[in-house]
Structure 1
Amino acid sequence: MYEIIKLQQKIVPEVVELFNRRYTILRTILYNQPIGRRILATSLDLGERTVRNEVTFLKEKNLVEIFSEGMYVTEEGEKIIEDLAQLLKQFKGLNEIEEEIRSHLNLNKVIIVPGDYDKDKTVIHEIGKMASAYFSDVLKSDSTIAITGGSTIKEFVDNFPTLDKYHDVIVLPARGGMGKNMDTQANTLAARLSEKIGGSHRLLHVLDSLSEDILESIMKEKSIEEVVSMIRNADFLIYGVGRADIQAERREVEPKVLQELKVKMAVGEALGNYYNQQGEIVYKHTTVGVRDTDARKVNKAIAVAAGSSKAEAIIATQLHRTNGVLITDEGAAMEILVKIKQYNEGEKATLK
């Protein structure tokens, strides 16, 4: 099968483009249905004639249905989307790229989803599906799970299947509260995930933006101390990765801290820590919950991040996490390869 695919890439490379276009159209309809042809064409930056021809083909194959209010993906179409995603991975050589990135970053595993979130927002749904599918396979009874907040992690929880069989599993928020959106708070997502798993959960009623003195005082409370101890000794950690500049802005850090991050060339943020290009922590935000040292000793630390703009942040936060699992998209993966090549060329130049 693999040899046939490689041969097709050489002889009829337009097949990859066609597969990718139809996969993207189906996926976009699925996550925006009902949707009209004009809006679909605009969102994918395709001509209306192209979209009309492709939709006609997909309708003839019983993959989409067209109604007055817009288009829907059929049940058969949903199954095809999953099959196309796996086929595209082989067409594009993403399996080999997964291993290349895993080896360079010294991770346990890398999983890549076709597409680039920065260009197609529906990719985030596929990231969530892939992350939930992977975790449901590795989850074990009598485990403790720590989970952060954020929109990407919310997609993971939204897509997690209802198992209702892990009654001895405990789900915990990996960090205190941050931001104003309750739907993406770690406490909210921990409670929802535990419900789907069939386990229990504990909440952490502490803001993540408190001063160090106040946090130290709160940590002396027995109930808080107990939950934090459980979080820091979790078996699994599921968390997001962000760009240092964007995360600092979201946290509304002081101007002097922003300047410090720039001077120290911070490029990535995870778990309240800011990392430079070498993967070194250059600034620690006052936080309660999982620390970097805790993340490195859990059974599996699963990072979920999407978009080519996060490539540098992913490299910085994931370097040498031997227990780390990275789930990302094609856009980020390809940009990571570019950054790796630039780094290697820079190293060679230094040696000369």
Structure 2
Amino acid sequence: MLHGHFASQYDSHSFWGVQEWREMREWLEINKRLLPDLMELLKKRYTILHEIMSSDLIGRRTLASSLHMSERVLRAETDLLKSQGLIETETAGMRISEEGRKLVIQLEPLMRELLGMRELEETIREAFGLRQVIVIPGDADASPAVKQELGKAACEVLNRSMGKDDVIAVTGGSTLAAVADQLRSSSARKGNWFVPARGGLGESLEYQANTIASMMAKRVGAQYRLLHVPDLISEEAYQSLKQEPNIQDILSVIRQARIVVHGIGDALVMARRRHVDEATVQALQEAGALAEAYSYYFDRNGHVVHTMLTLGLRMEDISRAEVVIAVAGGKSKGEAITAVLKFGHEDVLVTDEAAANEIVRISGLDVPKKPS
């Protein structure tokens, strides 16, 4: 399913050989018939362990809410997991033990099969002509830990995509901030440059593209350039700023981006977050805008219905980029992600189970039946 340097930790064969994987599939087929209840129990306990591991430290009430499970049922399960030495409890909540962490990592390929992630990935990849799709279990709308897992998965893709002397353009937003927070590299990337995909002054500092680009660069030992202009500007300011030598210099670097990493937002939510005037908001509604990505607004068919006046990446720059990675999750983002995928410029999608199921539903796709 994976292609060339896009293979990652989410590829089962990175853990097991082909023969081992074939034997595991046969084992699944046998056990889903003989022990269906055991398979469901395995899924449940893995999901609990995975959520605790992703959260670092979490209280029982919060965990029950994230997993849509009663506290009574969850207490019984966590008591068992504690007795097996897989989790540890303290006053502030629960955290996974080292033994539990090892078990989750070992089980991951098997559980991705049981949870149906592979079927979702392949269905979406084929439907939209993507190079790779990674689906993380859970719903980022319900669990902050899932957003962190999206960040980790995106980092795997980014690390494998980066070569020498690459320019990587990144957008802003909370999901890209999660990517930056998780980014690590086994070797220094001194020849690489991280740049903001557009201006972003005026947003919350931690979510600005400038902040995220600089954080990513520092985490992998790369270099960075910043674009100190507002996200939205007037026509007069736009014409003036683009004549500035310093602005022209950074724009020339941004437009050389070989890799683009971006989030996807709900069109109206993003418009209001950026304090767009009501006349423009109404125009977006009338045009059927559903999604926003890299300052472009898309309708349900993937058509661009509005472009914000901003300095940074242009559509032709995105088209020229060799690797475009979209990172977005949560059931509420399903429509927006689908709209951007229909636009057809993405290479890799990193999303979660809830959003993936929405994409499949909205698109009327047929997912092969998963083991149960």
Q: TM-score, normalised by structure 1?
A: 0.90
Greater CA deviation, 215-224 or 289-298? 289-298
Pairwise CA distance, 1:66? 2.0
Q: Matched residue of 1:55: which SS?
A: helix
Amino acid paired to 1:231:
I
| 2-structure distance, mates of 1:298, 1:83 | 35
Amino acid at match of 2:355: A
* Residue 118 of structure 1: aligned partner: 141
* Cα distance in 1 between the residues matched to 2:324 and 2:331: 21
User: Could you say which residue in structure 1 is the equivalent of 2:80?
Assistant: 57
User: Equivalent of 2:105, from 56, 64, 82?
Assistant: 82
Partner residue in 2 for 1:292: 315
Partner of 1:243: 266
Looking at structure 2, the residues matched to 184 and 74 of structure 1 have their Cα atoms a distance apart, in angstroms, of 32
Paired residue for 2:298? Answer: 275
CA positional deviation for 1:43: 4.5
1:210 and 2:233 equivalent? yes
Q: Which residue of the partner structure matches residue 350 of structure 1?
A: none
Question: Secondary structure in 2 aligned to 1:41?
Answer: helix
What is the aligned partner in structure 2 of residue 151 from structure 1?
174
- In 1, distance between residues paired with 2:108 and 2:239? 48
Q: Which moved more, 1:173-182 or 1:282-291?
A: 173-182
Q: Distance in 1 between matches of 2:30 and 2:142?
A: 29
In structure 2, give the amino acid aligned to 1:49: R
Moved more, 72-81 or 31-40: 31-40
Q: Once structures 1 and 2 are overlaid, which stretch shifts more, 44-53 or 240-249? A: 44-53
The one-letter amino acid paired with 2:332 is S
Q: Partner of 2:144: helix, strand, or coil?
A: coil
272-281 or 283-292: bigger deviation: 283-292
Do the aligned partners of 1:315 and 1:336 also contact (CA within 8 Å) in 2? yes
Between the aligned partners of 2:292 and 2:114, the Cα distance in structure 1 is 33
* In 2, Cα distance between equivalents of 1:84 and 1:317: 33
How far is 1:31 from its partner? 4.6
> Deviation of residue 224 (structure 1)?
0.7
**Structure 1 residues 342 and 134: CA distance shift in structure 2, 3 A:** closer
- DSSP 3-state at the match of 1:149: coil
Q: Could you say which residue in structure 2 is the equivalent of 1:129?
A: 152
1:57 Cα deviation (Å)?
1.9
Specify which of 328, 331, 335 is matched with residue 308 of structure 1.
331
Per-residue deviation, 1:118 = 2.1
- Pairwise CA distance, 1:205: 0.5
Query: In the aligned structure 2, how far is the partner of 1:137 from the partner of 1:323?
Result: 17
| Residue 224 (structure 1) aligned to one of 247, 251, 255 | 247
Distance 2:69 2:364 in 1: 32
Q: TM-score, normalised by structure 2?
A: 0.86
1:75: Cα distance to partner? 2.1
Q: Please give the alpha-carbon distance, in whole angstroms, between the structure 1 residues aligned to 2:35 and 2:153.
A: 29
2:202·2:230 contact (CA, 8 Å) conserved in 1? Answer: no
Q: Runs of 5+ in structure 2 lacking a partner?
A: 1-23, 367-372
Alpha-carbon distance, 1:325 to partner? 0.7
Summarize the Cα distance change of 1:218–1:14 in structure 2 as closer, same or farther, 3 Å threshold.
farther
The Cα offsets for residues 308-338 of structure 1, whole Å up to 9 and x where unpaired, read as 1111111111225355211001111111111
Q: Which runs of 5+ in 1 are unaligned?
A: 344-352
Name whichever of 288-297 and 192-201 sits farther off: 288-297
CA distance in 1: counterparts of 2:202 and 2:249, whole angstroms:
24
Q: Which amino acid aligns with 1:91?
A: L
Aligned to 2:215: 192
Q: Mark the CA change 1:91 to 1:43 in structure 2 (over 3 Å): closer, same or farther.
A: closer
1:191 alignment partner AA: S
SS at match of 2:195: strand
**Partner AA of 2:141 in structure 1:** D
| Higher alpha-carbon deviation: 222-231 or 20-29 | 20-29
1:7 and 1:231 mapped to 2: Cα distance? 53
Question: Alpha-carbon deviation of 1:209?
Answer: 1.7
Question: After the TM superposition, which of the residue ranges 41-50 and 88-97 deviates more from structure 2?
Answer: 41-50
Residues 33 and 298 of structure 1: is their aligned pair in 2 closer, same or farther, counting only changes over 3 Å? closer
Question: For 1:216-235, what per-residue CA distance to the aligned partner results, in whole angstroms no more than 9, with x for missing partners?
Answer: 21011111111112112201
8 A Cα contact 2:264 2:292, kept in partner: yes
Amino acid paired to 2:114? F
Given residue 272 of structure 1, which amino acid in structure 2 is its aligned partner? Answer: S
Of residues 24-33 and 275-284 in structure 1, the stretch that sits farther from structure 2 once superposed is 24-33
Range that drifts further, 265-274 or 132-141:
132-141
Identity %: 37
Q: Structure 2 CA distance, aligned partners of 1:127 and 1:140?
A: 22
- Once the two structures are overlaid, the 10-residue window that deviates more, 166-175 or 45-54, is 45-54
CA RMSD of aligned residues (A): 2.2
Aligned with 1:319: secondary structure?
A: helix
Which stretch shifts more, 236-245 or 11-20? 11-20
> Residues 284, 51 of structure 1: CA spacing in aligned structure 2 closer, same or farther, 3 A cutoff?
same
CA drift of 1:145 comes to 0.6
Partner of 2:361: 338
Residue 24 of structure 1 and its aligned partner are, at CA, apart by: 3.2
Name 2:257's counterpart in structure 1.
Answer: 234
Shift of 1:173: 0.8
